[in-house]
A and B are shown apart, each in its own frame.
Chain A
Amino acid sequence: MTFLILFLTFFKIGLFTIGGGYSMLPMIEDEVIVRLGWLTQEQLLDFIGVAESTPGPIALNLATFIGSAQGGAVYGAWGSVVGAVCATLGVVAPSFIIILIIARLFEKHMNAPVVRGFFYGVRPVVVGLVAASVVSLGIAVFLPLVNLELFASLSTEGFDPVSLGLMAIIFVLGGLRFGKSKKRLHPIALVLLSAVLGILLFGVAGL
């Protein structure tokens, strides 16, 4: 029963939130904390911090975590695995179905003026959205005192020049082209490199 509820709850969350992980948070709170009473506010906040910093989309991380927590609470270790799977499938299923339908329709009506006009207008919106997330994430990381609520877990004081330097290194490396094939470094290599630099700078050197 728990598993079915997990699946359906996350199906609902996936179906009714637009714009990805962060816009899901209010609804997850409503459903999981208020309606079902599965987690406390602190547990969720704690985990949002982890969901942000671990690989994978935040929405999926949260679904997996809440599924583990609830399945585990009711059925023990195996329950938490099954719970995680149920919640994840639940949050993914609506996207999957909707995108499949849209993809089919889109391929057919790609050249309809309304569709092309829609994309003509939305593309710049998305460019703006991404630009805004660059800036707000930048503020959160480089100026941790200016606490944007999303990244409240960062707690160094004032300006953080080390992060800025690290970002600059990564950015320059990402822009350079290496070798005869003129290939840029793979983003994944950059992420791994930044993790190593993070350990060296913040962990070993204690900056």
Chain B
Amino acid sequence: MTFFKIGLFTFGGGLAMISVASREVVESKKWITEDEMADIVVVAESTPGAFAVNAATYVGYKVGGFLGSLFATLGVCVPPLVIISVIFFFFDRFKENVWIAAAFKGIRAAVISLLFTAFLKLLRPMEKTPVTIAVAVVSFAVTLFTGVNSIYLILSGGMIGAVVFAVLARRARSRLAAAPISAQSSAEGEESPADKPTGGETQASAADKAAPATAPESTADAPESNAETPAGTASETLLKHPPENQEVPENAQKPADSPETPTTEKPRSQGGEGGEE
């Protein structure tokens, strides 16, 4: 099946697979949309196990239910099984073969290009608001300059997203019901601005530019602290509050370690974002 092909030509880890997979599944076969693909990447990245297997299982399920996922998973497993088993028997010779090494060196360079394509493919269906762009820039910087496990970024991103989304939905509905809720949430509302007093002030300017290394941090925080005040259904906020406080300081420390490099890298990712819009 298709995933056999994908498994066979995935080099250097799951993320590089996105580009091959979306070509096959989205463009050639038209089984799913680019938008769904982006969601699948999110699920695959935030659940346990190998990214490629998760993605394969999910795409398989979407396309053909249980059987689809079974075949997709097997398809992605078989090539490594066969190839590695063969390599295992010739391991020493394989390591020293000049031609194989040269071929792989070429492939590695190409994988960068494939990864960049994957990046563009994920960027396109993403809603571009100051919040999402800020989150993208922060997660980019944090991943590049620190060893923070991506799951923390994903969880904080998810929580930020859930809160922001709740706020947007609430605003859109109306503010008629605001009176009783604000009484409840006042206890919550006082806490969060106190935690992050600068967040609200810097947000407006930083969200637009997001250029200095530390600014994206405050933009990522700011929506939360803003968000909690109006959103504040007491129970929801209580649930979300503690984990955020754990994670945000972790992120906040790290980019400060590398004050020089971010400025050189940032324009690149932003250029990509700007170009796409």
Partner-B contacts on A (CB < 8 A) = 14-24, 46-47, 49-61, 64-65, 68-69, 72, 80-81, 84-85, 88-89, 91-92, 94-96, 98-100, 102-103, 106, 113-114, 116-138, 141, 154, 163-164, 166-167, 170-171, 174, 186-188, 190-191, 193-199, 201-203
Q: 14 A-B contacts, Cβ less than 8 Å apart?
A: A18-B46, A19-B149, A20-B13, A47-B91, A51-B84, A58-B12, A58-B50, A64-B88, A69-B88, A103-B61, A113-B165, A124-B139, A125-B154, A198-B106
Q: Which residues of A contact B133 (CB under 8 A)?
A: 124
Within the complex, which residue of A61, A84, A123, A141 is in contact with B132, where a contact is CB–CB below 8 Å? Answer: A123
Give the A-binding residues of B (Cβ under 8 A): 5, 7-15, 17-20, 23, 38-39, 41-54, 57-58, 61-62, 66, 69-70, 73, 76-77, 79-81, 83-85, 87-88, 91, 94-95, 98-99, 101-119, 122-123, 125-127, 132-133, 135-144, 149-151, 153-154, 156-166, 169, 265, 268-269, 272
The majority secondary structure among interface residues of chain A is helix
Q: Most B CB atoms within 10 A — which of A14, A17, A54?
A: A54
Q: Which residues of B contact A187 (CB under 8 A)?
A: 9, 19-20, 23, 114, 117
Which residue of B has the minimal Cβ distance to A13?
B49
| Most chain A beta-carbon contacts within 10 A, residue among B20, B50, B79, B116 | B50
Residue numbers in B under 8 Å from A69 (CB-CB): 88
A125 contacts which chain B residues (CB < 8 A)? Answer: 135-136, 139, 150, 153-154, 156-157
Cα of A190 to Cα of B53 in the assembled complex, Å = 23
Q: Does the CB pair B79–A92 fall under 8 Å?
A: no
Q: Beyond A57-B51, A96-B73, list 10 extra A-B contacts (CB 8 Å).
A: A18-B149, A20-B15, A20-B45, A23-B151, A61-B84, A64-B88, A80-B88, A121-B161, A141-B108, A198-B103
A197–B107 Cα gap in the complex (Å)? 9
CB pair B54–A84 under 8 Å, yes or no, is: no
Which residues of the other chain, B, contact A102 by a CB distance below 8 angstroms? 43, 47, 58
A-B contact count (CB 8 A): 389
A186 CB to closest chain B CB (Å) equals: 6
> Complex formed: what's the CA distance from A191 to B135 in Å?
32
Report if A85-B81 is in contact (Cβ < 8 Å); known contacts: A14-B48, A94-B48.
Answer: yes
CB contact under 8 A between A95 and B50, given known A122-B157, A134-B112? yes
- Nearest B residue (CB) for A130: B119
Label chain B's interface by main secondary structure: helix
A127 touches B122 (CB 8 A): yes
Minimal beta-carbon separation of B200 from chain A (angstroms):
19
Nearest CB on B from A119, distance (A): 6
Residue of B14, B101, B272 with highest tally of chain A CB at under 10 A: B14
Q: Which residues of B contact A198 (CB under 8 A)?
A: 102-107, 109
Within 8 Å CB of A23, what residues of B?
A: 149-151
B49 contacts which of A98, A103, A113 (Cβ < 8 Å)? A98
In Å, the complex CA distance between A91 and B11 comes to 19
Point out the residue from B7, B14, B69, B163 that lies within 8 Å of A99, measured CB to CB.
B69
By beta carbon, the residue of chain A nearest B70 is A96
Which B residues touch A99, using CB under 8 A? Answer: 43-44, 47, 49, 54, 57-58, 61, 69
Cα distance A34–B122 in the bound complex, in angstroms: 39
Please provide the 5 A-B residue pairs with the shortest distance between their CB atoms, ordered closest to farther.
A198-B106, A121-B161, A117-B165, A128-B139, A95-B49
